[in-house]
């Protein structure tokens, strides 16, 4: 049956069947309607960059070059760079919004925010050379915010957090000429390079892509993570619940969907306001139930233990439960058709970002300056929508699953007793063969959640620890892998380690910008061992990726020395040279490369073999 083919999420299956019966269109239906997808676009050999085009490369019809003269290598590489920096821009602009919020919290312009992790603020201040002695945390925050904002432009020509990488890794970057100079500069320069008549060397274009991705991973995204920790607290290990069953029939249900915690954290505070709680009771609800979706959900889950309704492909299904009063969105990964889905129910889609207005949504102009008041107004709108719910149309498809989250680097180190040494010891002894970061999204080209869950299960069976972010982590949460009890699925070595520490074999490290936490962890491990990141027995994987941001993440993993296996083929098959460069040529540059393997079982074999090779090279 169709719902079984589309997803392995049991509750999503129920909802999918329901949407099909009710005639509500979902991402899977639209994917089917788009078939067959254009082969030239899939292979990356169509170009509509300039007004002489559009052009396609069709060698069998002697169309070897576009009107301007660009060949397949150039068209493919330009398209890929464009995709990559779109992702880098999205992550980094999110990071900028957070840094600006910190700055305005320092100056007193922001409303409702506070500096929560002073220790982290001081650590970052020291990295940036900002004086901390005898100063108020607000003063430090203002200076840290300003210094980091400079790093988006070229005033400083430096991305300070990149200094956290081990020396060997930084040497590789220097030799390859890919040290990021600033966050925005690399993105803008990429757009310059892909203009007609500028970059015409595919390898040079792709190398710049690596540089821009490093500006994201060690720059914009890392700022997003670190400064969110400063404002809202560094995550500690916590327990919560996940899947569509987190909705409560007798509560006002509000889902927080999108990415930036500057909005969702404020909604959490507003929903806790006694006025709001009273109002909810007056409408006949027992209370307000906030649930997360996608990466803003991951942010809240990590720091506050807010229950998680699901990942990317749960966003339409949650509306079809008929039990959702409001979906509050900011930006990224939000289907533009959500108001259309919501129009079949009483659900209100509430948009909040000037950058991300959505036709059919209710718009609130959310800024740091008016954050708390706006958040309250949003919560009020959701509460007032509760009486419009039609009880006969409510379908909450099952019970939630328990999960453990909050594995920031700090929380991991604490669980290990204060240093990474115990982790190095178990890797050296072979109890844990290595570690893999499984990250990224859902994509209708892959059965929903199957890629993530299968890969994680295969790897832990081989005694490989998984650390996860984004929709991958949510998929594994729904499958029960984020609980210590899941250790029974692990090999004997990893099982023992999990039991001893009381941790799951798959660790939830946060949202997509929190892939920067994985970089920090790798840097700590490499430095403790006195090697480069490229020498560690680790790998990355994005089994169900779809977004441009995922291209940037994969690229900064590889550029940082992490072999990365993709489950979905990027749009590069039209150029053998680009494929060769990305899957093997980069080995001579950053000592890592990409691989593409749609079958997660085969991907696990590839990764395990790779990790064993790295172990051998280290002599362990």
The least CB distance from residue 159 to ligand BF8, in Å, is 21
Cβ distance to ligand BF8 smaller for residue 288 or 520: 520
Q: Per the annotation, does 294 bind a ligand? A: no
Dist. CA 92–CA 202, nearest whole Å = 25
Cβ distance to ligand BF8 smaller for residue 73 or 514: 514
Q: Per the annotation, does 498 bind a ligand? A: no
Cβ distance to ligand BF8 smaller for residue 440 or 570: 440
The least CB distance from residue 604 to ligand BF8, in Å, is 20
The least CB distance from residue 471 to ligand BF8, in Å, is 3
- The three-point CA angle 371-511-573 to 5° equals 125
Name the β-bridge partners of 46. 56
The least CB distance from residue 312 to ligand BF8, in Å, is 4
Cβ distance to ligand BF8 smaller for residue 120 or 312: 312
Dist. CA 279–CA 58, nearest whole Å = 63
Which residue matches tokens 């509000």?
254
Q: Per the annotation, does 466 bind a ligand? A: no
Dist. CA 416–CA 558, nearest whole Å = 27
Dist. CA 221–CA 152, nearest whole Å = 12
Cβ distance to ligand BF8 smaller for residue 27 or 252: 27
Dist. CA 314–CA 333, nearest whole Å = 12
Return all residues near 241 (Cβ < 8 A) that are at least 6 apart.
307, 308, 400, 401, 402, 403
Establish how many alpha carbons lie within 13 A of residue 466's alpha carbon, considering only the half-sphere containing its beta carbon.
37
Cβ distance to ligand BF8 smaller for residue 471 or 566: 471
Q: Per the annotation, does 471 bind a ligand? A: yes
- Would you call 328 helix, strand, or coil by DSSP? strand
CA distances from 301 to 334, 344, 477 (A): 19, 29, 12
The least CB distance from residue 95 to ligand BF8, in Å, is 13
CA 521 to mean position of chain CA atoms: 16
Q: Per the annotation, does 344 bind a ligand? A: no
The least CB distance from residue 256 to ligand BF8, in Å, is 12
Total residue count of the chain as it appears in this document: 620
Cβ distance to ligand BF8 smaller for residue 224 or 537: 224
Cβ distance to ligand BF8 smaller for residue 285 or 455: 455
Which residue matches tokens 């993530």?
452
Q: Per the annotation, does 68 bind a ligand? A: yes
Residues lying near ligand BF8 in the complex (CB under 6 A) are found at 259, 294-295, 311-312, 333, 440-441, 470-471, 511-512, 547, 549-550
The least CB distance from residue 549 to ligand BF8, in Å, is 5
Dist. CA 450–CA 8, nearest whole Å = 6
The beta strands (E) that lie in 183-245 are given as 238-242
Q: Per the annotation, does 47 bind a ligand? A: yes
Dist. CA 617–CA 432, nearest whole Å = 16
Dist. CA 495–CA 483, nearest whole Å = 12
The least CB distance from residue 74 to ligand BF8, in Å, is 28
Among 145, 119, 144, 117, smallest CA distance to 131 is for: 144
Dist. CA 436–CA 525, nearest whole Å = 13
Please enumerate, by residue number, every residue annotated as part of a binding site. 38, 47, 50, 55, 68, 259, 295, 333, 441, 471, 512
Please enumerate, by residue number, every residue annotated as part of a binding site for [Ni-4Fe-4S] cluster. 259, 295, 333, 441, 471, 512
Please enumerate, by residue number, every residue annotated as part of a binding site for [4Fe-4S] cluster. 38, 47, 50, 55, 68
């Amino acid at each position: 049956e169709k719902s079984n083919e589309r997803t392995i999420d049991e509750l999503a299956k129920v909802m999918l069947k329901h949407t099909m019966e009710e005639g509500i269109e979902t991402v899977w239906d639209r994917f089917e309607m788009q078939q067959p997808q254009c082969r030239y676009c899939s292979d990356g050999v169509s170009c509509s960059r300039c007004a002489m085009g559009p052009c396609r490369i069709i060698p069998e019809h002697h169309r070897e070059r576009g009107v301007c003269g660009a060949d397949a290598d150039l068209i493919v590489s330009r398209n890929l760079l464009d995709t990559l920096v779109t992702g880098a821009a999205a992550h980094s602009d999110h990071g900028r919004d957070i840094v600006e919020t910190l700055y305005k919290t320092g100056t007193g312009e922001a409303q409702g925010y506070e500096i929560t992790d002073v220790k982290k603020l001081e650590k970052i201040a020291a990295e940036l050379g900002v004086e901390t002695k005898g100063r108020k945390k607000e003063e430090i925050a203002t200076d840290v915010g300003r210094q980091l904002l400079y790093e988006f432009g070229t005033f400083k020509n430096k991305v300070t957090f990149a200094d956290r990488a081990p020396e060997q890794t930084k040497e590789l970057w220097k030799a390859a000429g890919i040290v990021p100079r600033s966050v925005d500069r690399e993105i803008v320069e990429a757009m310059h390079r892909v203009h007609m008549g500028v970059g015409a060397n595919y390898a040079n274009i792709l190398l710049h892509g690596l540089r821009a991705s490093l500006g994201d991973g060690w720059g914009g995204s890392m700022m997003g993570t670190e400064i969110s920790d400063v404002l809202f607290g560094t995550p500690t290990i916590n327990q919560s619940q996940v899947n569509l069953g987190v909705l409560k029939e007798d509560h006002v249900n509000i889902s927080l969907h999108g990415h930036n915690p500057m909005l969702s954290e404020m909604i959490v505070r507003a929903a806790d306001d006694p006025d709001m709680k009273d109002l909810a009771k007056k409408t006949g609800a027992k209370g307000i139930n906030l649930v997360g979706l996608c990466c803003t959900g991951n942010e809240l889950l990590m720091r506050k233990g807010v229950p998680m309704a699901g990942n990317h492909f749960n966003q339409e299904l949650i509306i079809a439960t008929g039990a959702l009063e409001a979906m509050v969105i900011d930006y990224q990964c939000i289907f533009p058709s959500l108001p259309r889905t919501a129009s079949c129910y009483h659900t209100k889609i509430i948009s909040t970002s000037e950058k991300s207005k959505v036709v059919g949504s209710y718009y609130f102009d959310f800024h740091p300056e008016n954050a708390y008041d706006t958040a309250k107004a949003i919560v009020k709108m959701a509460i007032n929508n509760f009486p419009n719910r039609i009880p006969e149309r409510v379908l909450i498809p099952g019970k939630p699953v328990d999960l453990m989250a909050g594995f920031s680097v700090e929380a991991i180190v604490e669980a290990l007793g204060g240093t990474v040494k115990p982790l190095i010891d178990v890797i050296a002894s072979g109890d844990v063969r290595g570690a893999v970061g499984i990250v990224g999204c859902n994509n209708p080209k892959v059965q929903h959640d199957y890629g993530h869950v299968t890969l994680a299960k295969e790897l832990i069976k081989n005694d490989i620890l998984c650390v996860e972010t984004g929709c991958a982590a949510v998929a594994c949460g729904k499958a029960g892998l984020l609980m210590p009890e899941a250790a029974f699925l692990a090999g004997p070595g990893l099982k023992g380690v999990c039991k001893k520490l009381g941790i799951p074999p798959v660790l939830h490290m946060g949202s997509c910008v929190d892939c920067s936490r994985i970089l920090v962890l790798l840097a700590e491990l490499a430095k403790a061992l006195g090697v480069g990141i490229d020498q560690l027995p680790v790998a990355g994987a994005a089994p169900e990726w779809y977004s441009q941001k995922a291209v940037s993440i994969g690229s900064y993993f590889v550029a940082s020395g992490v072999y990365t296996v993709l489950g979905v083929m990027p749009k590069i098959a039209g150029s053998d040279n680009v494929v060769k460069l990305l899957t093997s040529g980069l080995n001579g540059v950053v000592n890592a490369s990409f691989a593409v393997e749609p079958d997660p079982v085969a991907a696990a074999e590839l990764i395990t073999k790779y990790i064993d090779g790295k172990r051998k090279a280290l002599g362990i």
